[in-house]
Amino acid sequence: MTIVPETQAQSNWCWATCVRMVAQAAGSSPPEQCAIVNQFLSRSDCCVNGASEACDKPLEATRIPLLYSAFALVADALEPGGAVTEPIVRQALQAGPVVQLLLDLGSAYHYTLLTATTAGGYDVVDPLYGPFTNTWAYIASGFDQGGSVSAAWRVHPR
């Protein structure tokens, strides 16, 4: 499964962008980010005014399995209620094909995708920062922002 990077359209739409990227890689044709946001925030105006306070919102982590299910994908929580560690993430990536992380960046939360392990660490496809490869220490610290990994899911087709 090859993830084609996409940039989030609004500051809090990392969740909608991640599911779009994974759904496209799995072979479906998901709607635009704003339509996904409309659906999951029970709105109808986010394609017109996505930057509004009502539309530019994060998605609660508890709704991630439901979000992926809407696109015929499964998001299995890794270590629910426990610490997400590198061995757990590495094992999930080996089972493939994608791990979604919820990072605590210190001042905000951010969803990002891990797609592979490499000699340089982990391949990250991030809707805000773009694709890059870096170490687990960098990722687990919320991209060196003093944060942590708050939650993770292995995402795969049904």
Rg of the chain on CA atoms, in Å? 15
Distances (CA, A) of 140 to 46, 65, 89, 92, 137: 32, 22, 11, 16, 5
pLDDT at 119: 86
Q: Would you call 19 exposed, middle or buried from its count of C-beta atoms within 10 A (0-12, 13-18, 19+)?
A: buried
- Domains, the chain, ranges and CATH? 14-157 (3.90.70.10)
Predicted TM-score (pTM) of this structure: 0.96
Which residue has 């960046």 as its token pair? 105
Residue 62: predicted pLDDT: 95
Smallest CA-to-CA distance from 79 within 90, 71, 70, 88 is with: 88
In sequence order, the β-bridge partners of residue 114 are 99, 124
Q: How confident is the model at residue 135 (pLDDT cuts 50, 70, 90)?
A: very high
The whole-angstrom distance between residue 103's C-alpha and the CA centroid of its chain comes to 9
Q: Are 56 and 42 in contact (CB under 8 A)?
A: no
Predicted confidence (pLDDT) per residue in 75-134, tens digit = 999 988 788 999 999 999 999 899 999 999 988 999 999 999 988 899 999 999 999 999
